[in-house]
Amino acid sequence: MSATFQSFKSLRLDRVGRDFGRHNALKEIDFSIERGEFVALLGPSGCGKSTALNCIAGLLPTTRGSIWLDETRIDVLGPEERGFGMVFQNYALFPHMTIRDNVGFGLRMRGVARAEAGKRVESALATVRLTDQADKLPGQLSGGQQQRVAIARAIVIEPPLVLMDEPLSNLDAKLRLEMRQEIRRIHAGLGSITLYVTHDQDEAMSLADRIVVMRAGEVRQIGTPEDLYERPLHLDVADFMGYRNRIPCRVLTRSGGMASIDVAGAQLEGSIRGTLVGDEAVAAIRPDDLCVADVGLDAVVEACEYRGHNFFGSARGPGGVELFFRSPKRVDFGTAVKLAAEPAKVLLYDGAAT
């Protein structure tokens, strides 16, 4: 089956939807991925990203729409007929089989000849650097090793598409960073599509060529990590990408993509994002970009902590809004400061929408 998929070019989701009873878990998902791409599905828990992944894998039937691998419609096939590799959040290693048998399972199901299968299993184990653990049972391995077995098991079948469902969420911080490198390296070696589900924007940005941001069963924005980081289209995407400051404000004048705004008497310049119709707006600023300056928003410092290179603090701003800022020097509790950001770093969104 997978043989017909070997020379595929792209995976396409065409208005895919999924309901659980009356709950609309996935509304209408539309996107396509080219061969060789590493794409992350990013969103808070319950946003439908795992549902989307399970629909693509065939573990959940879709309610609406279709999924295509080039010109082949695959959403009508069972999971065992799609030939995709999947890495599960809890690894889902078969506890009664050795590591070698776990990795070889997919080849066995495909009826690959024993000698050929053996060779491929060895090479997959070498890729994840577990050759010397091959005869152990999964229970004897550490979390990180189990994770690598799960990856080896998924890639050994040379799938057109590797699906990963929050594969690093059960590992500790240090191991997570190491495994990111591994996953990126393995992806580069495979040349197929990797679709990676995560709720960690940092992980998504460091791994993916493109990120699909989801919220409440909908795709909110698709773009490169730089795109999303610099130019989030919606306030909720901005929020998710680390724009912690969300300041309600009023638009005074606009010119081109820029506008000047009023925050309880103080004035700032910002760049308009999305559709900004009325006068009510929300300014989103990253804590990194909001600095102590000579002119800007009046605020009283409430906390300040050192995080290497810089101090980061929080302050009570105009109208009682909480502001997060960066400062090269320590500022004491209760100090009155002025906070400002470059106009390009102040993103203005429609205040009526969330």
Q: Which is nearer to another protein, 90 or 181 (CB)?
A: 90
Distances (CA, A) of 84 to 4, 60, 300: 12, 14, 55
Cβ-in-10-Å burial (0-12, 13-18, 19+) of 56 comes to: buried
Helix or strand (DSSP H, E) at 207: helix 201-207
8 sits near another protein (criterion: CB under 8 A): no
Task: Name the minimum Å distance from CB 35 to another protein.
Answer: 19
Contact mark string toward another protein, 315..334, x via CB under 8 A: --------------------
CA distance 318 to 302: 14
Determine which residue in the list 3, 23, 78, 309 makes contact with another protein, applying CB under 8 A.
78
Closer to another protein at the Cβ: 45 or 275? Answer: 45
| C-beta of 93 vs 276, nearer to another protein | 93
Query: Given the rule CB under 8 A, which of 82-90, 216-224, 272-280, 301-309 is the region that contacts another protein?
Result: 82-90
Task: Check binding of 137 to another protein (CB under 8 A).
Answer: yes
If one asks whether residue 81 binds another protein (CB under 8 A), the answer comes out as yes
Main-chain dihedrals φ then ψ at residue 315, nearest 5 degrees: -145, 155
- The two beta strands, 64-69 and 23-34, are unpaired
Stretch that binds another protein, among 103-111, 186-194, 205-213, 337-345 (CB under 8 A): 103-111
To another protein, the closest distance from the beta carbon of 206 in angstroms equals: 22
59 binds another protein (CB under 8 A): yes
Chosen residue from 43, 83, 225, 313 binding another protein by CB under 8 A: 83
Report residue 207 as tokens: 């791994």
Among the listed ranges 40-48, 55-63, 115-123, 247-255, the one in contact with another protein (CB under 8 A) is 55-63
Q: How many CA atoms lie within 13 A of 354 on its CB side?
A: 5
94 binds another protein (CB under 8 A): yes
Give the CA diameter of the chain: 77
Amino acid, single-letter form, for residue 175:
L
Q: Which residues contact 141 (CB under 8 A, 6 or more apart)?
A: 99, 133, 149
Region of 299 on the Ramachandran plot (φ > 0 left; ψ -120 to 50 alpha; else beta): beta
- What is the binding site for another protein (CB under 8 A)? 1-2, 4, 57-59, 72, 77-86, 88-96, 105-106, 109-110, 137-139, 143, 146, 150, 153-154, 157, 163, 170
